[in-house]
Amino acid sequence: MLAAVVGLGIALARRSPNKALSRTVGFLAEFIRGTPLLVQLYFIFYVLPDIGILLPPLVAGVIGLGLHYGTYTAEVYRAGIDNVPRGQWEAAKACNLSARQTWTHIIIPQAIPPMIPALANYFIAMFKETPLLSAITVLELMNQAKSVANTYYRYIEPITLVGAFFLVISLFSVVLLRWLERRYGKIER
């Protein structure tokens, strides 16, 4: 959820007429996209405490994943908004619609359906990245499986079980994505 909100904020800031804001946010987004997620997690969890910002491991992990994938979802939002024909914007202006009415009644209903597949893919990818959180001491599923494997000296069962869990959740997400596409993906132009 954080990635969706961060992504929308970045996309809107990059569309801002304020060039300083647009360029600053654009630079930060490119910087985050250009560095590995693991480095970002280390920075948030291990470096920020040196300047007085101490976060629990899970909070640091959620922030790291949210910021990282937020920069990717921002591009999806940007593409979806840019995909709305210019004539729709002009028609809203000609009908004297407010900015809020333009966005809620004209732009968003046309921009969201094409975004659904890409957003869903990023959210599935983010879910599959959660084992990286073990690097900042978050006791997530893969870390628990390794703990069980080390305790009982049996590696096949716990690691296969975790892999199957990720597969089932990912497949369920794909089914949900296809349902959303069928339900909301058909748009008339």
138-167 pLDDT, tens digit each = 877 887 888 898 999 989 999 899 889 989
Q: What angle do CA 144, 1, 88 make, to 5 degrees?
A: 150
pLDDT of residue 186: 56
pTM score: 0.80
pLDDT of residue 79: 93
Please write the tens of the pLDDT for every residue from 43-60: 999 999 999 999 999 999
Residue 26 has pLDDT above 70, yes or no: yes
Lowest mean pLDDT among 66-70, 77-81, 132-136: 132-136
Q: Output the CA–CA distances (angstroms, integers) from residue 106 to 81, 88, 115, 189, in the order listed.
A: 11, 7, 15, 12
Tell me the C-alpha distance between 15 and 158, whole Å.
Answer: 47
pLDDT of residue 185: 64
Task: State the average pLDDT for the chain.
Answer: 90
Residue 63 has pLDDT above 80, yes or no: yes
What domains appear along the chain, each with residue ranges and CATH number? Answer: 2-184 (1.10.3720.10)
pLDDT of residue 139: 73
- Average pLDDT for 113-137: 87
pLDDT of residue 189: 43
Tell me the C-alpha distance between 85 and 36, whole Å.
Answer: 35
Whether the CB-CB separation of 83 and 52 falls below 8 Å is answered with: no
- Average pLDDT for 32-43: 95
